[in-house]
Chains A and B, each alone.
Chain A
Amino acid sequence: MAPVVSIQKLTKTYGNGFEALKGVDLDIEQGEILALLGPNGAGKTTLISIVCGLVNPSGGQVLVGGHDVVREFRKTRELIGLVPQELTTDMFETVWNTVSFSRGLHGKKPNPALIEKILKDLSLWSKKDNTLRELSGGMKRRVLIAKALAHEPKILFLDEPTAGVDVNLRRDMWQVVEALRATGVTIILTTHYIEEAEEIADRVGVINGGKLLLVEDKTALMKKLGRKQLRLELSEPMKELPASLGAYNLSLSEDGTALIHEYKSEEEQGGIAALLAALAAANIHFRDLSTRQSSLEDIFVALVEEKA
């Protein structure tokens, strides 16, 4: 199936000469959840803004549902819902009115039953007649999500959706995201909370310095780049590694109380058993052992630092 969003050779240079995007290619598949990771100023928001029509591209092309975002903006923007990073709201408007306004703005006829459902799903129903300035930050974030959903988008962009959001809202939000995905909505989120991407995304893209460093299936990425570590707590500290263990990728912790073995999970075939046997042969005893898988965060930090 053709990708629902297709970005080709996209560049953006702002009026002040800042090159925010330096040729980005990215295909987003229908119904997936894609997390775009990147440090502040990496180009995430610029990328989203171009797809949504807030920023004009300098070069390259973006197709949404097969339509060009500049020339056929009506068709593309109808498909897209955007939850912006900043909490921007019409302070004096009521929740109900502002969400209904969003629907009308996208050319859809009023549908009070749908608005009611969205507000209930986001626990906003009791606040529907409140003006936005009376709401807390988390509630305003919910309103922004409700506004983005009011016109039943097929693609939802969430720009840093969980910045400054409490646990309850985060949970509600992911429930809504899951429910949307079940109906076939494609979701693209940017975040710098990596555990979030790890938890929810199907694919992960890493942006830095205006370039897309990689896009990959999350589990494949974790497998490919993820490293494992075996840590053996020694019964008795040692000063240096015995020569007989030189063949193994081993290091001694600084205080000499533990042995650390690094390996890639997919390459490891019986190596650990051999290591343990060698340790027994060398009469080295340990009182405890633990393994640790490197997280997406470690992978991400390594990538960004390596290519920066």
Chain B
Amino acid sequence: MLRYTLTRLASLAISLLVASAVIFLVVEVAPGDPAAYMLGLNAQPDTVAALRAELGLDVSRPERYLDWLGGMLTGDFGVSYTYRTPVAQMIADRLWVSLPLALYALTLSTCIAFPAGLLAASRRGKAADIGVTAATQLGVAVPNFWFAMLLVLLFAINLGWFSAGGFPGWDDPLAALKALTLPAIALALPQAAILTRVMRSSLLDTLGEDYIRTARAKGLSRGQVLWRHALRNALIPVLTIIGLQFSFLLAGAIIIEQVFFLPGLGRLIFQAISQRDLIVVESVVMLLVFAVITVNFAVDLAYAAADPRLRTRR
């Protein structure tokens, strides 16, 4: 297990390094000089040069890349071109909206998918199974931002149970959770549909195994077999998908935040794009990619811990 962890750790480091280089290069080829953009059309050349020096744009590209990389390792993401505030601070503020939203949605999606998948698998071919399968078919076809708009129409505009958007801050945790509820439901629905399908097919696979037949033959009831033997073994692929969904939810939150006017990472990145605040774009993208790669790494490790056969295979 140690050897496996070390190899995976090395490959994690390489992936992060390559990803950071790709992001830096893509942003570097962007036409336009941020300093000239900030100062406008009438800026004097020496003012632009002074600002370039201040922003650290006057050194060579490799140096700037190393600066950026070294800065990120120590939590210093640089200074926003537009707001002149530390990027790390801006991201941390926004993360307080996006991260709880993603976790909330993940919890909801799991709470929906587990019972639904279990129900469908245990009633295979019956009305309940057909109903759940049809619902998942619809769930994966509905764009989450449109579903979000329908939720607003029903629960905010017609019924008035929730506000249509905005975020009151975490001073009042209940109000904050309430503001995140509709966005979390919208975000969770398609993921719950996918998770339900995985849960159902994984359970059905497990229920077809020989040891399940043995357990039934020795006299256990269907329910006992399901709860004691099948569920635990069926959970491994389900947990993998839950891990993967977290990063999808974090990225998906970018769009949902637009529907509900939430001040999260999504709003930050779109503002930064329109203001050509490239250092913010660079850093938020790197953060999202970092989340995806690290979560995948954690899932791989958890998988290997649960199933020793995977440690020797690549």
Partners in one complex: no
Interface set of A (CB-CB < 8 Å, partner B) = none
